[in-house]
Structure 1
Amino acid sequence: MRVFLSTYGSRGDVEPMLALALELRSQGAEVRMAAPPDFEEFVAGFGLSMVPIWRSAEGLTKSKPAPATIPERAAEIIAAEFEVLTEAAHGFDVVVATGMLPAAAGALSVAELLKIDAVSVTFQQLTLPSSQRRPLALPGRPLPADVTDNQTLWDLDAESNNVLFGEALNSSRTKYGLPRVDDVRQYVVGAKPWLATDPTLDPWQGDQHDVVQTGAWILKDERPLPKDLSTFLAAGEPPVFVGFGSMPMHSSTNAAEAAIEAVRAQGRRVILKRGWAGLELVDDQDDCFIVDEINQQALFPQTAAVVHHGGAGTTMTATRAGTPQVVVPQLADQPYWAGRVADLGIGVAHDGPTFTTESLTTALKAALHREDQAQAIAAKIRTDGTAVAAELLLRDGSR
């Protein structure tokens, strides 16, 4: 079987797809990926073929495009999906699509054009309509504060998706001879979407009974930690990890300084990850260590707590490690993951995206007392999500 995996977004969008790709390959399938060019070297390191799509995801994130430019950018990425994937996915049996909604819409349209099966997957359930919760507000399209009925809000969300992405999608579809789509969100969600999250960390709460929750797609990371980091870990009590992944943060210098001071206030050492925020050490004291790309699966179990942005992947890794968390959510689904961490009692949700030394000190002090509960929840987390998804694909395709 030949499986084409398409995504556009940050590391949290790419890594689960890579995990599935490796599982499929281990079961004899032929696999190809499409992702932002930022990750070409990363994917190639696993011996997989990756087709670069459009421009740098990191550059797009850091440029902070104005809401008014979103339809134009959506048109560009959808056009890139058609241009690249029409050739790259030719001859494959099934397309698995995720990432930014316009990118997923483009990939699914290419599958339709090529007359091959397609699966739409999400790594958090907030994009799947449900009367039990509000939708996420889209950039430049705030939800009205005086409307409390969830169904009405989801109707407004569908309208917003059409305003932002409808013409962008349909201009490419008509160019390639496909019919226009009236409801962009429903086109991407489809009749049987896949939810690649853990049922303990993210239990499905919705009205749609055809959602397939596979469990999280976890990329098994077997890289050893650098020797100097291992030496640092062995030189004292477990440190606190601070990193914000693909989030630029409000101010790199202030964020690093406030975080380090908050950790020191607990008598703990610090491991600081630069990430897309470009965090840097603020002095040369030996209680701090800075890292770039690192095996977080190996590192987190050796830390006292993990302070992070609340991306789905980082939240899952910290939860599996049984390490207390402080989540400082920045945008999109991150407040949801912060809430799940707090609800499960495995950490603390910081109030808002901007922290001070004082606010982070308070949150971290509370989180450090959640170790027993964090360990208990870790024991319930499933690790077979990629195997489940691969079996479904190889057995049934998109059905």
Structure 2
Amino acid sequence: MSARIVIAAGGSLGDLHPFIALGLALQARGCQVGIASSLEYQARIEAAGLAFCEAGPSLAGLEADLGMSLAEITEAIIADDLFLFRRILIPWLEPSVRQMVALAADADVIVGGTLTIGAAMTAELLTKPFVSVLLQPALAMSAYDPNTSPRAPWLAPADRGFGLWLNRLTLRLARGTTLGLKRPLNAARARLGLPPTDRNLIFDANVGADLPLGLYSPLLGRPQPDSPPGFIVTGYAPFDSETGGPAVMPPALEAFLAAGPAPLVFTLGSAAVNIPGGFYGESLKAARRLGRRAVLLVGPDGDLSVGDGPDVLALPYAPFSSLFPRAAAIVHQGGVGTTQQALRAGRPQLVVPHLGDQFDNAARVVRLGCGATLGRGRYRADRVEAVLERLLADAEVAATATRLGVVAAQEDGAAVAAERIVDLVTLSRRETA
């Protein structure tokens, strides 16, 4: 099909990669696809064979605007649930929408995620069909399958009775804490020529879309009775590359894996890696206490010297899809992309959540029976050793992880989502013909 699709993608690499996968699936179906994102991602997007369109602040521009380093911004997001919205998303909303309007004037459909709040406004201004994409079940904001959070540890899946009542009450109260976002949001809408809205930026992220999608594994979450009409959970959309091109294992890593038994793999993904603290040092101590080899993925700005010794290899990056299946277990921060790559690998997981949806993803891993979780503040070698020792010795956990891996590996969320978007284009064209 010849259709032009503009995808707005913001956030970390874990947010970008599923949209690259979706863009490639749409391109394979004859669509012209442009991804509108931060300038830092241009090379990665173009290397994947997709068109890049700049929209939103660059990382350097964001750091300059806030007067904060990336590590400080990450810590601020952890400390204040609304920092991301108050200080980043809403202040940059108006210029981002103006960029998007210029980019998407001839688009057939606009696609956007939760962190690209201007995408829906762009579609509204241009009267284009809008596809909302949730990358994690935490943001579905369901009372039946609620977001597990340290601030509301009593929340748990429920389908009736007191549990469901408590979940609904908690969600209503949480909405109240976000009321301060309404005025600046509607002020930005007024400057753009749009009427005020009562929709909540956080709780109504996929409400009112022409096509609401959950681009994540149904193992993590499924549509619920309180989901928006037509909401579909497509399955995970994997994309795994440092440069945007085909995933390639570093030769040093390939040699290390071949030289001994399966190692423990430790990673903080692409956001929490900015604030590693003692994670990698404690991880290596724990691995050595267990008599295990270790791979430490420390990020592009990480300290490679932490991996000193024949039993350890420290790297900035490695493709999860190639490395994780060869691990004894995977210790990670709980980003939804990392979590799903570990699920697909069929290996036990220890999740150490740092921020955002990572706490909810950790709880879902535990409920699935394929892993455990440990708080960031409790991450010390002796505790890590104890948890990993139990995890590695548990035959039921290993069997569950293997079984779930077979199921997860069959998912192709990008293909499912692309087919639905193509159907939306077809329907829209019929209605306007």
Aligned partners of 1:35, 1:321: CA distance in 2, in Å? Answer: 29
Match status 1:198 vs 2:210: no
Aligned partners of 1:12, 1:280: CA distance in 2, in Å? Answer: 22
Residue 380 of structure 1: aligned partner:
407
- Equivalent pairs, count: 392
Aligned partners of 1:11, 1:283: CA distance in 2, in Å? Answer: 24
- Partner amino acid, structure 2, of 1:200: L
- Partner amino acid, structure 1, of 2:188: S
Residue 170 of structure 1: aligned partner:
186
Residue 333 of structure 2: aligned partner:
309
Aligned partners of 2:173, 2:92: CA distance in 1, in Å? Answer: 24
Q: 1:19 aligns with which of 6, 14, 21?
A: 21
Aligned partners of 1:358, 1:206: CA distance in 2, in Å? Answer: 43
Q: 2:90 aligns with which of 75, 80, 83?
A: 75
Q: In structure 1, the residue corresponding to 2:306 is in which secondary structure?
A: coil
Residue 58 of structure 2: aligned partner:
55
How far 1:168 sits from its partner (Å)? 2.9
How far 1:43 sits from its partner (Å)? 1.1
- Partner amino acid, structure 1, of 2:174: D
Judge which range, 359-368 or 74-83, deviates more: 74-83
How far 1:37 sits from its partner (Å)? 2.7
Residue 101 of structure 2: aligned partner:
86
User: Please, what is the CA RMSD of the aligned residues?
Assistant: 2.8
Aligned partners of 2:138, 2:328: CA distance in 1, in Å? Answer: 30
Q: Normalization by structure 2: what TM-score? A: 0.83
Deviations 1:6-37 (A, max 9, x none): 12111111000000001111111000011223
- Runs (5+) with no aligned partner, structure 2: 64-68, 156-162, 429-433
Aligned partners of 1:390, 1:384: CA distance in 2, in Å? Answer: 10
Aligned partners of 2:360, 2:53: CA distance in 1, in Å? Answer: 32
Residue 31 of structure 2: aligned partner:
29
Aligned partners of 1:200, 1:10: CA distance in 2, in Å? Answer: 23
- Partner amino acid, structure 2, of 1:260: L
- Partner amino acid, structure 1, of 2:357: D
Judge which range, 342-351 or 291-300, deviates more: 342-351
Contact 1:311 1:333 in 2 (8 A): yes
Over 3 Å counting, the alpha-carbon distance change for 1:248 and 1:395 in structure 2 is: closer
Residue 177 of structure 2: aligned partner:
160
Residue 398 of structure 2: aligned partner:
371
Over 3 Å counting, the alpha-carbon distance change for 1:324 and 1:277 in structure 2 is: farther
Over 3 Å counting, the alpha-carbon distance change for 1:353 and 1:43 in structure 2 is: farther
Q: How does 1:287-306 map to 2 (within 5 A)?
A: 287-306=311-330
Deviations 1:344-369 (A, max 9, x none): 22121124554000111112112223
- Percent identity of the aligned residues? 29
Aligned partners of 1:396, 1:85: CA distance in 2, in Å? Answer: 20
Deviations 1:226-275 (A, max 9, x none): 21111111111111110101344696452211100111122111111112
Aligned partners of 1:135, 1:238: CA distance in 2, in Å? Answer: 34
Contact 2:131 2:213 in 1 (8 A): yes
Residue 231 of structure 2: aligned partner:
211
How far 1:379 sits from its partner (Å)? 1.2
How far 1:214 sits from its partner (Å)? 1.1
Aligned partners of 1:251, 1:358: CA distance in 2, in Å? Answer: 21
Aligned partners of 1:357, 1:232: CA distance in 2, in Å? Answer: 23
